[in-house]
Structure 1
Amino acid sequence: MVLLNVLVYSGPGVGPTAYAYLLRTLRQFLSHRYAIIPVEPETLRKEPWESKAAMLVIPGGRDLPYVASMNGEINRRIKAWVQGGGRYLGFCAGGYYGSGRCEFEPGTPLEVVGDRELALFPGTCLGCAYPGYSYKTEDGARAAEVSIDKDAFGISAVAWNDDPDKVRIYYNGGGFFLTGDRLGRQPADSNVSVLVRYASDVSDPRDRSKRIADAPAVVSCKVGAGIAVLSGLHPEYAWDFLAPSSYCQPHNRQLVPLLRNHDAYRRRLLGAMLAHMGIEVDPDALLDDVGSEHSMRMPATTPTFIAPARASGVAEVAATMYSLNGAATTRGEVQVAGMSDMVLRDEQDIHVVSACSGDKARRVPREYQNAVHAPLSLHPVVSPDSALPAIERGSGDRGHSTLVLCTQDTLPDAKETPRFDMGLAIKYMQLAKAHTAGSWLMYSDTTGSTQTFLEKNTKLQALLPNGTVNVATIQLTGRGRGRNAWVSPVGCLQFTMLLRHPNLKQAPVVMLQYLIALAAVESVKAQPGYEGIPLRLKWPNDIYAMLQPSGDSSDSPDSSESGFVKIGGVLVSSSYKASEFTLLLGCGINVANALPTTSINKLIRQHNERTGSSLAAMSMEKALALITAKFEELYRQFLVQGFEPFLKLYYRNWLHSDQVVTLVDQGRERAKITGLCPTAGLLQVRSLDNPGRAYNLQPDGNSFDMLQGLISRKAT
Structure 2
Amino acid sequence: MAGLNVLVYSGPGVGLNAHAYLVRTLRQFLSHRYAVITVGPETLRKEPWESKAAIIVFPGGRDMPYVAELNGEVNRRIKEWVKRGGKYLGFCAGGYYGSGRVVFEPGTPMEVIGDRELALFKGTCVGCAYPGYDYKSEDGARAVEAAVDRSAFNVPDAFWKGDPAEVRVYYNGGGYFLTDDFTGKQPEDKDVSVLVRYPTDVTDPYDRKKQVANAPAVISCKVGRGIAVLSGMHPEYAWDFLAPSSYTKPYNKNLVSLLRHHDAYRRRLIGAIFTHMKLVVDPDALVDNLEQQQATRSPSITPTFFVPARIADAAAISSTMDALKSVATTPGDANVAGIADVVLRDLAEDIHVVTAAPGNGQRRVSSDYQCAVLRPEQAPEVTSAYASTTVDGKDHSRKHSMLVLCTPDTIPDTSETPRFDMQLALKHMRDAKAHTVGSWLMYSDTTWSTQTFLEKNERLLSLLPNGTVNVATRQLTGRGRGRNTWISPLGCLQFTTLIRHPNLPQAPVVMMQYLMSLAIVEAVKSLPGYEGLPLRLKWPNDVYALHTSVGDSDESSDASGPAYVKIGGILVGSSFKNDEFTLLFGSGINVANRLPTTSINSLIREYNNAHGTGLLCITPEKALALFTAKFEEFYRQFLVKGFEPFLKLYYKNWLHTDQLVSLADRSYERAKVVGLSVSDGQLQVRSLSRPGTVYNLQPDGNSFDVLQGLISRKVL
**In structure 2, what is the equivalent of residue 368 of structure 1?**
369
Once the 2 structures are TM-superposed, how far is the Cα of residue 587 of structure 1 from its aligned partner?
0.4
**SS state of the match for residue 321, structure 1?**
helix
Once the 2 structures are TM-superposed, how far is the Cα of residue 362 of structure 1 from its aligned partner?
2.3
List aligned pairs for 1:315-326, cutoff 5 A: 315-326=315-326
**In structure 1, what is the equivalent of residue 229 of structure 2?**
229
**SS state of the match for residue 547, structure 1?**
strand
**1:285-319 residue CA offsets vs partner (Å, 9 max, x unmatched):** 11224798736631100000001111242221111
List aligned pairs for 1:81-480, cutoff 5 A: 81-184=81-184, 188-289=188-289, 294=294, 297-346=297-346, 347-359=348-360, 361-374=362-375, 376-377=377-378, 385=383, 389-390=385-386, 397-480=397-480
**In structure 2, what is the equivalent of residue 531 of structure 1?**
531
Q: For residue 307 of structure 2, what is the amino acid of its counterpart?
A: A
List aligned pairs for 1:641-660, cutoff 5 A: 641-660=641-660
Q: For residue 453 of structure 1, what is the amino acid of its counterpart?
A: F
Change (3 A) 1:418 1:447: same
List aligned pairs for 1:586-665, cutoff 5 A: 586-665=586-665
Tell me how far apart the structure 2 counterparts of residues 2 and 533 of structure 1 sit (CA, whole Å): 23
**1:211-233 residue CA offsets vs partner (Å, 9 max, x unmatched):** 11111100101101110000011
Change (3 A) 1:335 1:308: same
Tell me how far apart the structure 1 counterparts of residues 702 and 132 of structure 2 sit (CA, whole Å): 43
Change (3 A) 1:703 1:72: farther
Is the contact between residue 496 and residue 584 of structure 1 (CA under 8 Å) also seen in structure 2? yes
Question: Which stretch of structure 1 is more off in the superposition, 353-362 or 286-295?
Answer: 286-295
**SS state of the match for residue 320, structure 1?**
helix
Tell me how far apart the structure 1 counterparts of residues 388 and 549 of structure 2 sit (CA, whole Å): 38
Once the 2 structures are TM-superposed, how far is the Cα of residue 276 of structure 1 from its aligned partner?
0.8
**1:59-102 residue CA offsets vs partner (Å, 9 max, x unmatched):** 11111111111111111000000001100000111101111112
Is the contact between residue 702 and residue 712 of structure 2 (CA under 8 Å) also seen in structure 1? no
Is the contact between residue 491 and residue 593 of structure 2 (CA under 8 Å) also seen in structure 1? yes
Is the contact between residue 9 and residue 57 of structure 1 (CA under 8 Å) also seen in structure 2? yes
Is the contact between residue 219 and residue 230 of structure 1 (CA under 8 Å) also seen in structure 2? yes
Give me the TM-score of the superposition, normalised by structure 1: 0.95
Tell me how far apart the structure 1 counterparts of residues 504 and 532 of structure 2 sit (CA, whole Å): 35
**1:583-609 residue CA offsets vs partner (Å, 9 max, x unmatched):** 110100111100001111111111112
Tell me how far apart the structure 1 counterparts of residues 519 and 215 of structure 2 sit (CA, whole Å): 59
Is the contact between residue 200 and residue 211 of structure 2 (CA under 8 Å) also seen in structure 1? no
Q: For residue 512 of structure 1, what is the amino acid of its counterpart?
A: M
Once the 2 structures are TM-superposed, how far is the Cα of residue 629 of structure 1 from its aligned partner?
0.7
Is the contact between residue 328 and residue 342 of structure 1 (CA under 8 Å) also seen in structure 2? yes
Question: Which stretch of structure 1 is more off in the superposition, 543-552 or 111-120?
Answer: 543-552
Once the 2 structures are TM-superposed, how far is the Cα of residue 456 of structure 1 from its aligned partner?
0.8
Change (3 A) 1:549 1:26: closer
Once the 2 structures are TM-superposed, how far is the Cα of residue 615 of structure 1 from its aligned partner?
1.3
Change (3 A) 1:530 1:581: same
**SS state of the match for residue 265, structure 2?**
helix
Tell me how far apart the structure 1 counterparts of residues 622 and 565 of structure 2 sit (CA, whole Å): 23
Structure 2 runs not aligned, ≥5 long: none
Tell me how far apart the structure 1 counterparts of residues 249 and 292 of structure 2 sit (CA, whole Å): 26
Q: How many residues align?
A: 707
Structure 1 runs not aligned, ≥5 long: none
Is the contact between residue 482 and residue 702 of structure 1 (CA under 8 Å) also seen in structure 2? no
Is the contact between residue 391 and residue 448 of structure 1 (CA under 8 Å) also seen in structure 2? no
**In structure 1, what is the equivalent of residue 509 of structure 2?**
509
**1:401-440 residue CA offsets vs partner (Å, 9 max, x unmatched):** 1000001110112111011111211111111111111111
Once the 2 structures are TM-superposed, how far is the Cα of residue 624 of structure 1 from its aligned partner?
0.2
Once the 2 structures are TM-superposed, how far is the Cα of residue 43 of structure 1 from its aligned partner?
1.2
**1:424-468 residue CA offsets vs partner (Å, 9 max, x unmatched):** 111111111111111110000011110111111111111111110
> Given the alignment of the two structures, is residue 710 of structure 1 paired with residue 712 of structure 2, yes or no?
yes
**SS state of the match for residue 217, structure 1?**
strand
Q: For residue 710 of structure 2, what is the amino acid of its counterpart?
A: Q
Is the contact between residue 533 and residue 607 of structure 2 (CA under 8 Å) also seen in structure 1? yes
**In structure 1, what is the equivalent of residue 542 of structure 2?**
542
**1:529-559 residue CA offsets vs partner (Å, 9 max, x unmatched):** 1111111111112111111354666566999
Tell me how far apart the structure 1 counterparts of residues 44 and 34 of structure 2 sit (CA, whole Å): 18
**In structure 2, what is the equivalent of residue 16 of structure 1?**
16
Tell me how far apart the structure 2 counterparts of residues 353 and 197 of structure 1 sit (CA, whole Å): 55
Change (3 A) 1:169 1:274: same
Point out which structure has higher relative CO (alpha carbons under 8 A, 6+ apart): 1
Give me the TM-score of the superposition, normalised by structure 2: 0.95
Q: For residue 159 of structure 1, what is the amino acid of its counterpart?
A: F
Computed over aligned residues only, the root mean square deviation of the Cα atoms, in angstroms, reads 2.3
**1:230-260 residue CA offsets vs partner (Å, 9 max, x unmatched):** 0011111111111111111111110011001
Change (3 A) 1:700 1:80: farther
